[in-house]
Every structure is written in structure tokens, then in C-alpha cells.
Structure 1
């Protein structure tokens, strides 16, 4: 082989090696971007999804009968299910929809921190249930799931059932929660919840009108989507001022709000697991 051919082969191999190195670098950058996007997805992207979801909101269902509030519900104009210590110094208000994927992202990221703060008597939480995905996507899964959660509140099992629903949330386009049998099936995951009284409440839509009243409060508010999260009336999702929300920041903000205040005592039955 001539010297020129050898030099040409070496140059070709060098160019091939350089090309491979560039491809590796691009692949590494792509993986970094994917991971970064996933992290942002728990926080910032979730808010974007919520904003988009709210833009097409419509009436989720026909009006049902008289408003029957679940046991222990609060708020005439802004119906809510309270959890945690009634005398906790701070209030976390969460507006959410059981079909909303952004709400599931929020719950999965902050569930443990919220439960810990409640157990410490640092906060009480007010859950406001909305049905905007029913209006956007069609179906009745938001309403049916919210009614079932209100039925669980009657049994003192709201918190564990609420968590089970989000941990088993179907795809947004899959209206699986519209099936009462599915909601009853999931109730079996909460000890002591699957009773004749609970089944009757779910199947009869006992709290449908109460859920619709809660959704109307959401629609008449200035919220842009779900989840909408406030601490003592101040919006903290996806950010509080210049600080992005995170479990650590949520705890810090609660500690700042509670500075010099006495923590709460016994929790409400809704926290029973």
C-alpha cells in the first residue's frame, strides 16, 4: 500500500472517530435535556398543562338534585374538604381535578411533604374539587371520582382514598373513573372503605351537586387551571415570588409563615389511613 493510501485511510478513520465523538456528545446532551424536562415537568410543565386544560372548560354535566355536602365539609361559597389539624396556624388550599395529569404530578411530588406537615400540626389542607377535564375532554370521570372521594370523606377515609385515586389515575383521554365499579374497586385498597354505605353513595351520586357547586366556585375564580395551590391565600404553584415550588421550599414557606405561632393539635378524621 502506498504512503498516500495509508495517509488517506488514517484521515478517514480520524474523520469517522470525530463524527462518532460528535454523535456521542449530541446523545449526551439529548439525555440531559430529557432528564431536565422531566424534572421541570413535575413543577413548571404541570402548571402549563393546567392552564391549557382550563382554557376549554365547559359545563361538566347536567345539574343534579339538592346539594348534599359530605361530612365535615367547609365553605359555603368555596366548598372544601378539610384535612389535618383544624387549629393549624397555616392553610394550604388545593384546587384539583382527579382526571388532571398535572394534578397527579403535583400530588406525587408533594404528597409526603403535605402529610408530614399535617402530622406536625403545621398546616391544615383544604381540597377543592373541580371537574374541568370532563368539560374539556368529555365524559364524567372527574365528577364521578370527586363524588366518590366525598363519599370516602363521609367514612373518614378521604385522604387515603384521594391518594389511591391519584396513584391509579388513568390517561387523561381514558375516562375510566366514569365507571362507578372502577371507583369501588379502588376503594378496596383503603382498609374499611368498601362498605354498603360507600357503594350506595357512589352509585347514587349523593354528592354530585356539591361537587358541581365546588366546580362553579373554581370557574368563577381567577385561577388559570389545575392544580392551583395557595398557602394562606397566596399562590405558591408553580412559584412563590421568584422561588420555584419544591418540597423543600414548601416546608420552608410553611415554617416562615408559622414563625412564632403554635402548631395545631389533633387531626381531623379525614387523615385516617
Structure 2
């Protein structure tokens, strides 16, 4: 091989290294924009770092138009544009609004630590929860798991089993980079952990994407509200994640905050959701 050929090979190798370096840098920068670390110590379980996903990261299905398909709200959805999935007594004196993405690891941490407390507060009529579904990780990491799992959760809402299925999804969440929730078969398999949920109607709903347009609309609403990331948790309209004032969120503090907010008010008398009892 001559000197000229050696020079050409050297230049080619240099260009390839430069391209690889640029791609790695782009990936690192994208990841940096997607993730933040909040020093949120969650109760006695000592979760010292809760990773929250920044809403502004990357484009995605949730950032587009909700007009890709018909907007079919799940049964019992409430609130503006029927985007809230309620749990607990409708007349409970306090409301917890939760925006989550089923692929979001911080959402799973929040749910797995706070679940029993939230269920106790809803069962006792102290708290009503409004769940809203976001799909920002599909936009930032790629894939379709946030969207497919949100549709499946809406199908569970049709069956009156949203909260139970919601909990199962977070208890069985794959690693953030594993788009396992994009597989409808996996979502139906997990639904088998909720007694009575897997029926021909539920399976058809999941596989047909009956609520895809509604999921798009919910994701678009999340973007339009300019929330910082998921989970976004509001108690009576005030942000409480990762903290409220100078106090970090924890099971004990949530109970205290709800008790303070409900002072002098009667518990809700409407029948709580089955999952909270």
C-alpha cells in the first residue's frame, strides 16, 4: 500500500472517529436534557435520589396533534376534556392530582413508596386522586411503551380496574431503556395479575388501540401545562413533589398535609374505588 493510500485510510478513519464522537456527544446531551436528579428523601425507606424526567426532552408522539385518531375517553373519565381518571370518593375534601408516565422510573419510585398511604387516604374518604397519563419518555428515549401502556390503562378504566392495573404496571416496570411496555401481549399478560380484568373486551381494547387518540390528547395537555417533568404531584393544586415548602414528600408528610388541609371538613361519603379499599 502506497503513502497516498495510507493517508486516505488515515483520513477515513479520522472522519469515522469524529462521526462516532459526535453521535456519542449527541446521545450524552440528549440524556442530560432528559434526566434530573432531585435530592428527595422519601420517608423511612430512604430513597435519597429520585430521578425525574424533564418534560422538555426530545420530540415525540405526545407532542404532536391529538387528531391522529378519534378521541375516545375511557369510561368514567372526568375533568377538563375528560382526561382525569379518578380514584376515591368524589366528595373527599382534598384532591391529589398526579401526572405520570408508566415508563418513568421516578414515577415507579413515587408509587411504590406512597401507594399504601394513598390507598388508605382514599379508602377513608380523606383524599380523592385524579390520575393523568403522560407519554414523555417515548418522545425522549424513543419507542412506544408509554403510549401503549397508557392505552391499556385506559382499557382497564373501562373495566373499572384502573387503579389495580396502574399499580401492577409500576410494580412490574421494565428498565427505562427497555421498551417492553410497547408489546400489547406483555400488557395483557400483566393484566392477568388483576382478577377479572382479562376479558375479550379488554384484550380487543388493548390490541385495537381504542384510546390512542385520548392518550395523544392527554400527552398534549401535559406539554401545554408546561410541567417540569414526571411525576408531577399536586395536593389541592399545590406542588408536593419532591417537596412542599421545606418538607420532603414522604408517607408521613402526605398524611400530615392532608390532615391539615382537611381540618374541620367531613370525609367523603361517596363509595371509594375498589382498589383503595
Tell me if both proteins adopt one fold, taking TM over 0.5 as the criterion.
Answer: yes
Are 2:155 and 2:206, in contact at CA under 8 Å, matched by a contact in 1?
Answer: yes
Aligned to 1:214: 218
Aligned to 1:110: 114
Are 1:43 and 1:245, in contact at CA under 8 Å, matched by a contact in 2?
Answer: no
CA distance in 2, matches of 1:55, 1:241: 24
CA distance in 2, matches of 1:272, 1:119: 5
CA distance in 2, matches of 1:177, 1:264: 35
Cα 1:38–1:216 shift into 2, 3 Å: closer
CA distance in 2, matches of 1:269, 1:249: 23
TM-score, reference length from structure 1: 0.81
From the CA coordinates, give the structure whose radius of gyration is larger.
1
Aligned to 1:7: none
Are 2:84 and 2:130, in contact at CA under 8 Å, matched by a contact in 1?
Answer: yes
Aligned to 1:259: 263
Residue pairs, 1:81-100, within 5 angstroms: 81-100=85-104
Match of 2:76 among 72, 90, 93: 72
Shift of 1:229: 0.2
Cα 1:229–1:143 shift into 2, 3 Å: same
**Where does the alignment leave 5 or more consecutive residues of structure 2 unmatched?**
1-38
Residue pairs, 1:220-239, within 5 angstroms: 220-239=224-243
Cα 1:216–1:263 shift into 2, 3 Å: same
Give the root-mean-square deviation of aligned CA atoms: 2.1
Are 1:42 and 1:106, in contact at CA under 8 Å, matched by a contact in 2?
Answer: no
Shift of 1:77: 4.3
Aligned to 1:60: 61
Residue pairs, 1:128-207, within 5 angstroms: 128-207=132-211
| CA deviation string 1:202-227 (max 9, x = no partner) | 00101111111111111011310000
Are 2:97 and 2:234, in contact at CA under 8 Å, matched by a contact in 1?
Answer: yes
Cα 1:225–1:187 shift into 2, 3 Å: same
Are 1:156 and 1:272, in contact at CA under 8 Å, matched by a contact in 2?
Answer: no
Q: Secondary structure at the match of 2:229?
A: coil
Shift of 1:270: 6.0
Range 144-153 or range 59-68, more displaced: 59-68
Residue pairs, 1:14-25, within 5 angstroms: none
The size of the alignment, in residue pairs, is: 234
Q: Secondary structure at the match of 1:254?
A: helix
Q: Secondary structure at the match of 2:49?
A: helix
Cα 1:261–1:81 shift into 2, 3 Å: same
**Where does the alignment leave 5 or more consecutive residues of structure 1 unmatched?**
1-36
CA distance in 1, matches of 2:196, 2:77: 21
Cα 1:221–1:260 shift into 2, 3 Å: same
TM-score, reference length from structure 2: 0.80
Match of 1:101 among 92, 98, 105: 105
